[in-house]
Structure formats: structure tokens, C-alpha cells
Structure 1
Amino acid sequence: MDTQNLIDMANRIGDFFDSMPDREEAITGVADHIRRFWEPRMRRALLAALDAPQAGGIEMSAIVKEALVKNRERLTPAEPSIA
């Protein structure tokens, strides 16, 4: 999975919501969009990139970082059960 592409996509989502006058509503909007429309592997990779930023790559915008940090538990996919 291309982490840099995921960060770029997340930043574009953040750009959209960043124009909202209510900062908390914007942060919630970013997190809700990622939770609803991104598959679990994408969310795991984005959260891993938050924990271990890559040097020289695209950086996450402030609103995306804040949305991930504040909503990490909601964004972390459940581990698949092994039956």
C-alpha cells in the first residue's frame, strides 16, 4: 500500500473540512469520512504513518493529524477473528 498516496488523499480530505468555521466539527468530519469510506487496511496504514513518519515524504496536514489523534480508537479497525 502506497503510504504517501494515502497521506495525500487524507490531506485533500483535510483541505475540504479545514474551511469549516467550527474546528471541532471539521476534525470530526475528517475522521468520519476516513472511518466510513476507507477500508481497514488503508486506515491501519495511515495510523502507522502517523506513528512513524517517513523522512522526505508528504507530511500530514495539521487537521489530519489532529483528527487521527483525537479519533484513533474509532478509526482503528477491529482485528479479524480467527475461527
Structure 2
Amino acid sequence: MSFLQFRDLSYSEQAAYFSAHRTYLARRYTAGFTVHLYYLGSFFCEEWICQTQNELRLLRPFTGTEQLLPYTELVHLPSL
């Protein structure tokens, strides 16, 4: 499925597709949320979980690399 096709689905359809086709990549924390990054074949999608209520609040699909920058800060490579 393409990013545009996914974006045009209803929220419940997005959630079903997301659950069936996601590949976990990374996790980060921000402002009361745990944010999981997944790859869905042709685009990325963030899953925003509220830390206090432990429930899904947002699925945020994207194709740009700028949205990946917060995850690159989590990568630490030893000096060569």
C-alpha cells in the first residue's frame, strides 16, 4: 500500500493495516509520549502512546527523511 492510499483510509482501517504490516524500527520519548517508529513497506509510521494512560493516541505516517532526525540522535557509533 502506498502512503497516499494509507492516508486516505479511515482511522480504524489505518490501525488494522498498521497492525498487520508493520516492522518495528525504533523508540523515543517526548513530552509524555512513547513514540515507536515502524516501516510499512513504502513509508514510515509513528505510533504515539500516552505514557500516563498507556493508550494509542496517534498514528503519524510520513515519507520524508526529516521526520527521521529524532531517531538518528539515538544512534551512537564508536569512534573509528
Is the structural similarity TM-score above 0.5?
no
- Ranked by relative contact order (alpha carbons within 8 Å, sequence separation 6 or more), the top structure is 1
User: Which protein has the bigger helix share?
Assistant: 1
TM-score (norm 2): 0.30
User: Which protein has the bigger strand share?
Assistant: 2
TM-score (norm 1): 0.29
